[in-house]
Chain A
């Protein structure tokens, strides 16, 4: 018998316990990874390719305060602005849903693809959309989720506006990080609300990454001391503004993660020491026939590491595998879209498993090393 098989056999001699130990590590690490993924998705929104060039302009008071449509002429003339479109969140309810599951925005169809360059639609779809004021462009994900076809009607009940939309789906787009939204003519919204004078936000594309900061500054100062001061910021900063509103949620999830890791540690250490205490006599015999302390310690360490790493493979690896295959979007009602397990998370999960394995081996291992052979042989269970 080689040392390796000796360790493996020892680890698996009590199959039930080995299974339970590895499983409890696996469950906890699964939970740990899941929470980390959720936290990442809530706090660090993924970035689109065009994001570095894109600038969001909202009312300085808050996002809920509209902007006057006359600002368009001023923004267009600012050097470094490549394209600009109005962008108003509609917040309608689809079918009989009780909350908004995908966003709808009123935009200028002629300018839309110049600002959101990664949204790819066939030119035929795009032309049809531009031509028909009562039509809309729908993200591929939403089309698939609701089993919609080009030519279907898109009916939305307004919650923020006292108007309902009735539009024809003339095309689809894909290629953005979140292909769920519906885009429609801003003029259609203006007509329904009888208010052609306001928009929700402006979205701007800067000509290059170098001029973007300058463009942001120019837009901000252009409307300073007017009745509608604006806050222009990069798409990233705009998203982080939403994240900031979550408040203490990040701290909450962080503390839950630490609680899980701590519990895990406690339980594994106790299980592992149970496994070792059970065979004090046998270890004493090993000692008696000439094995040295550090050899015994490394046997025990290797065994506990083996079990906890097995747990990590099942838990963290399992999480990565499951989240890759399930439809998280449908499961969470649209709250999460990607739910992607990063290498970093897998890394920290395995690191926790390593620490766990070492700690739960060292504690009982040291007491084995310290005991005298005679005492060890005397132990009964």
Chain B
């Protein structure tokens, strides 16, 4: 086998001609990593949501909380179940939420978008310990007050503490900001459940969130809800419910894969061009190696390693180029919620290594043909060439 040092030195030696290839591949990998970071961020935000001890109850057939309906009777029929945990004051840990979409202007006159206004019951905060108030105070029921996610507040006008916004016939005042630790609740506005029902003239709630007494209670309650034909409801573990809300990420992944495929074809062509040129310039050198007794397949392998090395440098460079975007908050329309979904570009180590493996593969395919061609040149011709 040819020493790796030989290949490494060759890459460095012809740096001028290889630089363009490296940069080209770096751009391809950077674009791939950035687009996939969007999809990863979206999925992570929904996978982050919820408490594994909680049970979510929604209408059968609904695809999101906002299109679910739970009537007052259904709520009452479940409220007094013995399988539901109670707090220190003996109140059941149940919240009946109501979700509604509110169209509001973005900051900097950047158009309007739907936002999710969630009315929560008195236990709503207790059941979702991951949501923490970071500024201001919690809303007081009946006073037309709301708290908004800090991340959402960065994107919408009138979301600073003390600001008011009009929706329906009423004005709502923002009294606090919360941080839900980068999950689905970070795209929401919270207010009191019954107040929201009154504001928007709604007879029923959207969904229920309950805390069963224990794991057995969770199973029993799930079965109970499922099997009661009159209820027509569906019970699901809260974490699992949100994890499955990933429709929005699908087209982004599709875009990422499409871009990766098309751009990698271009990158393979570029890598081929470079490798043809490097191999062409080294015909005599390769001939010499053959005379020294290196076998064809050794030479092919050596060149393949060289090509992969070259392209991996591009891959690493591309990941570095994409890295600054990690953690950058952005938002787009969520397909399930039909409202603004805030999330962060997330570059995981797995995604970065995918990018580098991807670049090495470009190197492999780009080098294969030129390498085989070089190893097939008859030794005498190779030595004679200038």
Cα(A27)–Cα(B268), bound, Å = 11
By the criterion of a CB under 8 Å from any partner CB, how many residues of chain B are at the interface?
61
Contact status A262-B27, CB under 8 Å: yes
Of B30, B167, B270, B272, which is within 8 A of A61 by CB?
B167
Contact status B31-A246, CB under 8 Å: no
Contact status B113-A247, CB under 8 Å: yes
Cα(A31)–Cα(B17), bound, Å = 25
Binds A, one of B126-134, B207-215, B328-336, B353-361: B328-336
Quick one: closest B residue to A270, CB to CB? Answer: B20
Q: Does B4 contact A (CB under 8 A)?
A: no
Q: Does B365 contact A (CB under 8 A)?
A: no
A81-130 residues at the B interface, CB under 8 angstroms: 91, 99
Contact string against B for A residues 41-82, beta-carbon threshold 8 Å, 1 for contact and 0 otherwise: 000000000000000000011111100000000000000000
Q: Does A378 contact B (CB under 8 A)?
A: no
Q: Does A28 contact B (CB under 8 A)?
A: yes
Shortest Cβ distance from B282 into chain A, in angstroms? 10
Contact status B332-A21, CB under 8 Å: no
Contact status A247-B330, CB under 8 Å: yes
Contact status A63-B114, CB under 8 Å: yes
- Which residues of B are found within 8 Å of A62, using beta-carbon distances? 100-103, 114
Q: Does A288 contact B (CB under 8 A)?
A: no
Q: Does A249 contact B (CB under 8 A)?
A: yes
A211-266 residues at the B interface, CB under 8 angstroms: 225-227, 229, 231, 240-241, 243-249, 252, 256, 259-260, 262-264, 266
Cα(A245)–Cα(B332), bound, Å = 6
Cα(A159)–Cα(B38), bound, Å = 27
- Which residues of B are found within 8 Å of A34, using beta-carbon distances? 258, 262
- Which residues of B are found within 8 Å of A31, using beta-carbon distances? 259, 262-263, 266
Cα(A381)–Cα(B103), bound, Å = 67
Q: Does B348 contact A (CB under 8 A)?
A: no
Contact string against A for B residues 2-35, beta-carbon threshold 8 Å, 1 for contact and 0 otherwise: 0000000000000001011101100110110001
B273-329 residues at the A interface, CB under 8 angstroms: 273-274, 276-277, 281
Quick one: closest A residue to B66, CB to CB? Answer: A64
- Which residues of A are found within 8 Å of B263, using beta-carbon distances? 27-28, 31, 260, 263
Interface residue range, chain A: 35 or more
Shortest Cβ distance from A232 into chain B, in angstroms? 14
Shortest Cβ distance from B103 into chain A, in angstroms? 4
Contact status A159-B331, CB under 8 Å: no
Cα(A53)–Cα(B274), bound, Å = 58
Of B112, B168, B270, B281, which is within 8 A of A267 by CB?
B270
Q: Does A279 contact B (CB under 8 A)?
A: no
Shortest Cβ distance from A30 into chain B, in angstroms? 7
Contact status B332-A64, CB under 8 Å: no
- Which residues of A are found within 8 Å of B30, using beta-carbon distances? 259
Contact status A270-B340, CB under 8 Å: no
- Which residues of A are found within 8 Å of B167, using beta-carbon distances? 61
- Which residues of B are found within 8 Å of A262, using beta-carbon distances? 27
Binds A, one of B56-64, B82-90, B222-230: B56-64
Contact status B67-A245, CB under 8 Å: no
Q: Does B81 contact A (CB under 8 A)?
A: no
Quick one: closest B residue to A335, CB to CB? Answer: B251
- Which residues of A are found within 8 Å of B72, using beta-carbon distances? none
Contact string against A for B residues 238-268, beta-carbon threshold 8 Å, 1 for contact and 0 otherwise: 0000000001000100100011001101100
- Which residues of B are found within 8 Å of A153, using beta-carbon distances? none
- Which residues of B are found within 8 Å of A27, using beta-carbon distances? 262-263, 265-266, 269
Cα(A262)–Cα(B59), bound, Å = 50
Contact status B266-A244, CB under 8 Å: no
- Which residues of B are found within 8 Å of A241, using beta-carbon distances? 103, 111-112
Q: Does A176 contact B (CB under 8 A)?
A: no
Contacts A24-B269, A241-B112 hold; do A267 and B200 have CB atoms under 8 A apart?
Answer: no
Contact status B340-A245, CB under 8 Å: yes
Cα(A30)–Cα(B102), bound, Å = 40
- Which residues of A are found within 8 Å of B200, using beta-carbon distances? 61, 65
Cα(A152)–Cα(B272), bound, Å = 56
Quick one: closest B residue to A248, CB to CB? Answer: B330
Of B247, B332, B338, which is within 8 A of A246 by CB?
B332
Cα(A192)–Cα(B273), bound, Å = 66
- Which residues of B are found within 8 Å of A366, using beta-carbon distances? none
Cα(A274)–Cα(B338), bound, Å = 52
- Which residues of A are found within 8 Å of B335, using beta-carbon distances? 99
Contact string against B for A residues 355-381, beta-carbon threshold 8 Å, 1 for contact and 0 otherwise: 000000000000000000000000011
Quick one: closest A residue to B22, CB to CB? Answer: A266
- Which residues of B are found within 8 Å of A225, using beta-carbon distances? 169
Shortest Cβ distance from B322 into chain A, in angstroms? 11
Cα(A134)–Cα(B38), bound, Å = 44
Contact status B168-A60, CB under 8 Å: yes
Cα(A65)–Cα(B24), bound, Å = 49
- Which residues of B are found within 8 Å of A381, using beta-carbon distances? 281, 386
- Which residues of A are found within 8 Å of B168, using beta-carbon distances? 60-61, 65, 227, 229
Contact status B102-A271, CB under 8 Å: no
Q: Does B69 contact A (CB under 8 A)?
A: yes
Contacts A245-B333, A247-B332, A248-B332 hold; do A266 and B103 have CB atoms under 8 A apart?
Answer: no
Shortest Cβ distance from B144 into chain A, in angstroms? 15
Q: Does A162 contact B (CB under 8 A)?
A: yes
Shortest Cβ distance from A80 into chain B, in angstroms? 26
Cα(A262)–Cα(B30), bound, Å = 13
Ordered by A's residue number, 27 sampled pairs between the chains whose C-beta atoms are within 8 Å are: A20-B272, A21-B273, A60-B103, A62-B100, A62-B101, A62-B102, A63-B114, A65-B100, A99-B63, A159-B61, A162-B69, A226-B169, A227-B168, A227-B169, A244-B112, A245-B332, A248-B330, A260-B27, A263-B23, A263-B263, A264-B266, A267-B20, A267-B273, A270-B17, A270-B19, A271-B273, A381-B386
Shortest beta-carbon contacts, A-B, top 8 = A244-B111, A270-B20, A64-B101, A27-B266, A62-B101, A263-B27, A62-B103, A24-B269
Q: A31-B259, A61-B100 are in contact. List 5 more A-B contacts (CB 8 A).
A: A61-B168, A62-B101, A63-B338, A241-B103, A245-B111
